[in-house]
């Protein structure tokens, strides 16, 4: 097996609190790490590095774990820039535009969906992302939800069944029948193609009882749970997610004290989506309150054509720091290890021995530049399991 030494690293973020400077980021300076069989085989000061078959010298640059984007709606067709223009002129975001994307997605060919998804994934990789989750939810029929999941699986193993995104127009007169479809035949076809079930539990989408039914049916079909909750108003999303032991509850803009307490006591990650808040001009979630209460926080893009047509995790980091008062260290941890925890993965999100060698080389001396230089193309190269995936 060929081994590679990545060396000349000015600042290496390992996310191993027992390594390096002893901070949560486990920063090692003048560092190197060895990769064998796609995994990290050794980490430490470059001066102590073992001999390897190949050497990659990054000439003083910073290296961070690859971003784990644990919330995307990767596969869809069309775009909604007119809705964005209207919002910037004062229209509120309601999720009503989801129907526009459902129509465009249903009308698109498999190849068209594939091509558009691969372009978005290329943007994500170029900005340092090495793992993505991808949801269905723009099909809302048995045939289209399965089609979206099948195509999503060409891009990632972390696929999520989101048949309960909204009630489609053809069921507007009979919501119960749509929930029956989602929990019955649609789930039966989609479960083999997904690892997760998700529900949009919010105003204009699904209520508490409907959301509970969807999550229970998904669990009965062997899927693990995640929830879109508390984006548009205070509500039951967080409470249900924690009660069900969901891996993550995403958005979290409107939280009660009881929600924060429940998250702090439970194992559910709070995934914050600052790209959505930016693009819908919504109040940002109170990340400080969550972190100070001991809640595990993740950051993700929520890439979708309505609320957040964002593929860049560095942009999300910058927004989290500037607008949500997270420190640059907290934001980086949330975008890497936090995302891994939101996907219940212990093989990604760190660069400790045994982890997948997923990393981004930055054209900067420190990870802080991710937030300090917003908009700059700061990711030089991205690597997954030791192989270069971008540019
Ligand atoms: O996560 N909130 C629900 N779903 C998506 C947006 C969907 C859309 O507007 O197309 C979200 O923000
Ligand atoms: Fe979403």
Cα 203 from chain centroid (whole Å): 23
Q: Are residues 15 and 86 in the same domain?
A: no
What range does the domain containing 251 cover?
68-342
pLDDT of residue 235: 98
The residue contributing the CA closest to ligand 1 atom 8 is: 306
Beta carbon of 306 within 6 Å of any ligand 1 atom: yes
Query: Exposure pattern of 48-84 as b/e (b: 16+ CB <10 Å)?
Result: ebeebeeebebeebbbbbbbbbbbbbbbbbeebeebb
Beta carbon of 133 within 6 Å of any ligand 1 atom: no
Distance in Å, CA 137 to ligand 1 centroid: 9
Q: Are residues 28 and 49 in the same domain?
A: yes
Distance in Å, CA 51 to ligand 2 centroid: 45
What total of structural domains would you count in the chain? Answer: 2
Q: Are residues 135 and 278 in the same domain?
A: yes
Give the ligand 1 atom nearest the CA of 308: 12
pTM: 0.98
Distance in Å, CA 331 to ligand 1 centroid: 22
Task: Select from 77, 302, 306, 342 the residue to mutate for testing ligand 1; criterion: most ligand atoms less than 8 Å from CB.
Answer: 306
Q: Are residues 161 and 196 in the same domain?
A: yes
Q: Are residues 318 and 184 in the same domain?
A: yes
Q: Are residues 181 and 271 in the same domain?
A: yes
pLDDT of residue 328: 98
Count CB neighbours of 170 within 10 A: 11
Distance CA 137, CA 76 (A): 9
Beta carbon of 390 within 6 Å of any ligand 1 atom: no
CATH number for the domain that contains residue 57: 2.30.40.10
Distance in Å, CA 73 to ligand 2 centroid: 6
Task: Select from 91, 98, 274, 281 the residue to mutate for testing ligand 1; criterion: most ligand atoms less than 8 Å from CB.
Answer: 98
3-class DSSP assignment, residue 199: strand
Q: Are residues 162 and 220 in the same domain?
A: yes
Give the ligand 1 atom nearest the CA of 232: 2
Q: Are residues 232 and 115 in the same domain?
A: yes
Distance in Å, CA 383 to ligand 1 centroid: 29
Give the ligand 1 atom nearest the CA of 304: 10
Distance in Å, CA 342 to ligand 2 centroid: 14
Q: Averaged in consecutive runs of 10 residues, what is the pLDDT profile of the chain (391 residues)?
A: 97 97 98 98 98 98 99 98 97 95 98 98 98 98 98 98 98 98 98 98 98 98 98 98 98 98 98 98 98 98 98 98 98 99 98 98 98 97 98 97
pLDDT of residue 219: 98
Cβ neighbours of residue 235 closer than 8 Å, sequence gap 6 or more = 201, 202, 203, 208, 229, 254
Task: Select from 96, 302, 303 the residue to mutate for testing ligand 1; criterion: most ligand atoms less than 8 Å from CB.
Answer: 302
Q: Sign (positive/negative) of CA torsion 74, 344, 321, 249?
A: positive
Distance in Å, CA 8 to ligand 1 centroid: 42
CATH number for the domain that contains residue 281: 3.20.20.140
Beta carbon of 302 within 6 Å of any ligand 1 atom: yes
Q: Are residues 148 and 197 in the same domain?
A: yes
pLDDT of residue 154: 98
Q: Are residues 11 and 94 in the same domain?
A: no
Of 325, 342, 359, the residue that ends a domain is 342
Q: Are residues 285 and 357 in the same domain?
A: no
Q: Are residues 91 and 43 in the same domain?
A: no
């Amino acid at each position: 097996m060929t081994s590679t030494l990545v060396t000349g690293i000015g600042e290496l973020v390992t996310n191993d609190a027992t390594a390096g400077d002893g901070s949560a980021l486990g920063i090692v300076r003048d560092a190197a790490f060895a990769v064998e069989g796609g995994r990290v085989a050794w980490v430490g000061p470059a001066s102590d590095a073992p001999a390897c078959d190949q050497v990659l010298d990054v000439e003083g640059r910073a290296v961070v774990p690859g971003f784990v984007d644990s919330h995307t709606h990767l596969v869809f067709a069309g775009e909604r820039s007119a809705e964005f223009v209207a919002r910037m002129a004062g229209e509120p975001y309601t999720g009503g535009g989801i129907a526009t994307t459902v129509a465009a997605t249903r009308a698109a060919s498999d190849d068209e969906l594939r091509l558009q998804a691969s372009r978005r994934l290329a943007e994500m990789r170029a900005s340092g992302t090495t793992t993505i989750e991808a949801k269905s939810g723009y099909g809302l029929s048995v045939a289209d939800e399965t089609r979206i999941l099948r195509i999503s699986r060409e891009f990632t193993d972390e696929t999520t069944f989101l048949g309960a995104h909204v009630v489609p127009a053809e069921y507007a007169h009979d919501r119960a029948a749509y929930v029956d479809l989602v929990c019955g035949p649609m789930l039966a076809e989609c479960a083999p193609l997904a690892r997760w079930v998700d529900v949009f539990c919010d105003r204009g989408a699904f209520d508490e009882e409907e959301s509970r039914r969807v999550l229970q049916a998904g669990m009965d079909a062997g899927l693990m749970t995640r929830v879109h909750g508390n984006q548009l108003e205070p509500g039951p999303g967080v409470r249900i997610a924690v009660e069900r032991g969901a891996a993550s509850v995403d958005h979290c803009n409107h939280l009660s004290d009881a929600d924060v307490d429940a998250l702090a006591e439970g194992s559910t990650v709070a995934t914050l989506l600052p790209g959505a808040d930016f693009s819908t001009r919504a109040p940002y979630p109170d990340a400080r309150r969550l972190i100070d209460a001991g809640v595990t926080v993740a950051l993700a893009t929520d890439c979708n054509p309505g609320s957040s047509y964002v593929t860049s995790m560095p942009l999300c980091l910058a927004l989290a720091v500037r607008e949500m008062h997270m420190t640059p260290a907290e934001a980086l941890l949330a975008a890497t290890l936090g995302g891994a925890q939101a996907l219940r993965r212990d093989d990604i999100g760190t660069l400790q021995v045994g982890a997948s060698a997923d990393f981004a080389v930055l054209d900067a001396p420190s990870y802080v530049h991710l937030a300090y230089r917003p908009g700059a193309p700061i990711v030089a190269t991205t690597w997954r399991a030791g192989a270069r995936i971008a540019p």
